[in-house]
Amino acid sequence: MLNEEQEQTTQILALSVDEPSDLQRMVDMLSADDSVVPRFPFLTDSDHRVIDRYGLLNPEAPRGMTIPHPATYVIDRDGIVRWKFVEVDYTLRPSIEDVLAALGELGESY
């Protein structure tokens, strides 16, 4: 997704309520599907502290399930959210081009 220069100044993180073993299965599945291993960490937020902080927990999730809304954030070096994509429908995600455009708006600071 990022070129070499962007990789020096940009950090991508994936966050999920899933346990580490489940996240590893997801990485393995993505790697098998795309023949490329993701080059960013997948982090677990099983107690959903970060997800709650961003208001992403889905209140309409089936009873007993913890399911956040899918979201993508571009956060600058000062911790300010500069762009976000939050969707109720888990099948809708921003394109790589959308994310790169949001990063580009940060200028050289990303």
Q: What is the pLDDT of residue 108?
A: 57
pLDDT band at residue 59 under the 50/70/90 scheme? confident
What pTM does this model have? 0.79
Q: What is the mean pLDDT of the chain?
A: 88
- CA neighbor of 65 nearest in space, from 30, 90, 92, 93: 90
Question: Has residue 38 got a pLDDT over 90?
Answer: no
Q: What is the pLDDT of residue 3?
A: 80
Rounded to an integer, the average pLDDT of 98-108 is 86
Question: Has residue 61 got a pLDDT over 60?
Answer: yes
Helix segments in 1-110, DSSP class H: 4-9, 20-34, 49-53, 96-105
